[in-house]
Structure 1
């Protein structure tokens, strides 16, 4: 019984004496804790009075949202048998300050059998029935539309991340140029632009019924070499009338002596073309 009482008393206040220095420290700590407890409600009330209303912080500092919407995105689509990484040096031609917030993407096409190459499997966005490509060559409409869905998914991701659609540019060479044209025409919103290099119209006029009024506001830049013997100049030359009938504006540039390739002159022209449209888009946003 005494042992139990001693055990209880051991941890009680009577364990310290009035002359023990620890007792002064304990009393001080108790007093400090009591003072903090008393002041806590007043401090909380003061903080509540100073806190801004919900959502006001975002309204007072729109910079992050503005920065996101002023970013730009360039999607580059390669030609038949090529790859995305092999085209990445193209971005070195775009050194102007307007491109400091630009995100680039160089995806690679899936490996598929290609009819014009006797069924050989290679990177291809859709099937090609014959080469050289002429204005009357047969087209793989269903394959093109399937590839368009994948391109639209890439665009939608950037829009969801805050990039304004009018700061998004789709560019492509040869088969990638044909896919660029199809993707821009069938995207439901106005984009910054579509740039076609040595490409062609990859589907029939019936597809124009699926084009939205907003898509018709997207400008098109078309560049083609007069000496192209893979996608004949006549295939490229058929593009502007097709686009005009569909309600688009198209800037067509012919390059004498240029074969089936991209020249530095074409890339510098593309840089200026995108820069001008980025400025217009950002001015409208501001």
Structure 2
């Protein structure tokens, strides 16, 4: 069982845009749901790409379950993000103009993909997520973000994502030369708040 590449698009045509935003939905969400969030982001001139998870879930168990229990879905999901990035590259968009926005399971997947493929991207906003696995396997994470801005927002406590994992993820990204901003909201709940949107806009999706 793996993910069939199914990418929903919005925004500017990928052949005309200079920037692309890859949006990764959460468990039980959809590509269309996460694309609708883009109206709150400063991404009017971006091509928007949102892959759709098979049956609305990228992998079956918690992101802090032993990795092998989330296979083969997890590897397939990471490959899907890679193929979505390749879609943008094939259209002539430079790596440093590729951006990411992920929520919940989608934030975990976004962060796992980025940490495994660190290079200079445009930037990333990950709301309620961390790198994946019961233990962090630092050997999986290679490369240099070259000061790519990454925003991590989360609630403490969060039923799905322990705040300790968010901090650990931030530390790994910083070690890999990302420009990390983290913001923890006490008892906010498992959703995206207005300030996180505003911070994503001011840190990641800056108006030129």
89, 93, 97: which is aligned to 2:40?
A: 93
What is the RMSD computed on CA atoms of the aligned residues? 2.6
Q: From the superposition, tell whether residues 224 and 76 of structure 1 become closer, same or farther in structure 2 (CA, over 3 Å).
A: same
Unaligned stretches of 5+ residues in structure 2 = 1-14
Q: Deviations over 1:12-70 (max 9, x none)?
A: xxxxxxxxxxxxxxxxxxxxxxxxxxxxxxxxxxxxxxxxxxxxxxxxxxxxxxxx797
Note the C-alpha offset of 1:75.
1.1
**1:170 and 2:114 are equivalent in the alignment:** no
Q: From the superposition, tell whether residues 128 and 246 of structure 1 become closer, same or farther in structure 2 (CA, over 3 Å).
A: farther
Structure with the larger helix share: 1
User: Which one has more relative contact order, counting CA pairs under 8 Å at least 6 apart?
Assistant: 2
Unaligned stretches of 5+ residues in structure 1 = 1-67, 112-122, 280-286
Structure 1 runs (4+) deviating above 4 angstroms are none
How many residues of Structure 1 are paired with residues of Structure 2 in the alignment? 191
22, 31, 36: which is aligned to 1:75?
A: 22
**1:127 and 2:51 are equivalent in the alignment:** no
Structure with the larger strand share: 2
- For the residues of structure 1 that align with 2:83 and 2:113, how far apart are their CA atoms? 11
When normalised by structure 1's length, the TM-score is 0.59
When normalised by structure 2's length, the TM-score is 0.78
1:237 maps to 167
Residues 144-223 of structure 1 mapped to structure 2, 5 A cutoff: 144-187=74-117, 189-203=119-133, 204-209=135-140, 211-213=142-144, 215=145, 217-223=147-153
